[in-house]
Structure 1
Amino acid sequence: MHREIERKFLVRNDGWRGKAEPVLFRQGYIARTVDRTVRIRVAGNQGMITVKVKVGPISRHEFEYEIPLHDANELLNSLAPVEIIEKYRYTFSECGHVWEIDEFLGANSGLVIAEVELQSEEEEVELPVWVGEEVSKISKYFNASLVQSPYGSWNHNEKQP
């Protein structure tokens, strides 16, 4: 078991572009509750199944296992198209941490989120200049929530986040 501790931020500009090559992610949720999810993901040519259980404001127990790519695709194909999230992920080091930038596609197009994984919830993080407002504790920015309420359906006239 791995304890995932991560902070999420909106991205304010394109200063991160060119730092990594994108990997296409396709993922869907076969189970969701308030404090846990079961996710199927295809990242590039790798299939994964992941169980996450919330244990703190920004931390979760994470159980992640590789599964055959064919099986992952079959599980994703069994979901309705609206239950699938597609995004490009860019992974690179900056300011002493590994950053993952998710550039969402489809119904979530226009949303770009930066994530940084930490060793503890109290760990200090130097934020690159392209990092905007923190959304770590705002559930509508969670991938599992974006399946049910895509970014494209939000009222963008309201103050974000």
Structure 2
Amino acid sequence: MRYEVERKFLVADAGWRAGAVSRRRLTDGLIGEFAGGKVRVRLDEERATLTVKGRREGLARPEFEYEIPRADAEAMLRLVCETWRIEKTRHCVPHDGMVWSVDEYGGALSGMVLAEIELEHEAQAVALPAWLGREVTADPRFRQSTLLRLAREAGRPVTLCEVLAAPM
């Protein structure tokens, strides 16, 4: 069993763009949530996956990811995740020996930009790039399901100010 250990941050400015070495477009669909966990389908240009993530304990959570046929992922996104889809472009940005993922959201979350780093263990030291803003790892307002709910309730993309003003 694999554990995902990650930290998530707001992005303070576009300084990360100069260091980006690749990007890929992702579509995530939320299939369901349970006791702090979720089931997600993801589609990108190269592969399709079904992922089950358990409850977060600190920075870590169990993660089970399985490659699935592209046609199945497309059908799940269309038939099961109709209103629970996230579109984003993920940029890979190396910094101090690690690779950051900077996600630029589209669709219902258009304009939102978040960065995350996957770690080997919770105590791993991380050099934070100058373009990072505050850490939001433990902030429930920055869970993708919460961001989608806020956008659906507003009937339009939500701004960072609106997310920060939402109750925790």
| TM-score, with structure 2 as normaliser | 0.86
Q: Secondary structure at the match of 2:15?
A: coil
Match of 2:5 in 1: 5
- TM-superposition CA deviations, 1:12-65 (whole Å, max 9, x none): 111111412321100111111241100000022311000000241221100001
Match of 1:100 in 2: 101
Q: Are the counterparts in 2 of residues 140 and 149 from structure 1 also a CA contact under 8 Å?
A: no
- TM-superposition CA deviations, 1:122-144 (whole Å, max 9, x none): 22210011111000001111123
Q: 1:126 to 1:40 in 2, by over 3 A?
A: same
Following TM superposition, the consecutive aligned residue runs of length 4 or more in structure 1 with deviations greater than 4 angstroms are 157-161
Answering whether residue 24 of structure 2 is matched by residue 23 of structure 1, we say yes
Task: Give unmatched runs, 5+ long, in structure 1.
Answer: none
Q: Which amino acid aligns with 1:156?
A: C
Answering whether residue 52 of structure 2 is matched by residue 47 of structure 1, we say no
- Equivalent positions of 1:106-145 (< 5 A) are 106-145=107-146
Seq. identity, %: 35
**How far apart, CA to CA, are the structure 1 residues paired with 2:160 and 2:131?**
24
**How far apart, CA to CA, are the structure 2 residues paired with 1:74 and 1:80?**
9
Q: 1:92 to 1:111 in 2, by over 3 A?
A: same
Cα RMSD between the aligned structures? 2.1
Match of 1:156 in 2: 161
Deviation at 1:11, TM superposition (A): 0.5
Higher helix share: 2
**How far apart, CA to CA, are the structure 2 residues paired with 1:32 and 1:64?**
16
Q: Secondary structure at the match of 1:51?
A: strand
Task: Give unmatched runs, 5+ long, in structure 2.
Answer: none
Deviation at 1:2, TM superposition (A): 1.0
Q: Are the counterparts in 2 of residues 45 and 69 from structure 1 also a CA contact under 8 Å?
A: no
- TM-superposition CA deviations, 1:70-119 (whole Å, max 9, x none): 11000001135431100000123211212101100012111100000111
Q: Are the counterparts in 2 of residues 9 and 133 from structure 1 also a CA contact under 8 Å?
A: yes
After superposing the two structures, state which structure 1 stretch, 133-142 or 151-160, moved more. Answer: 151-160
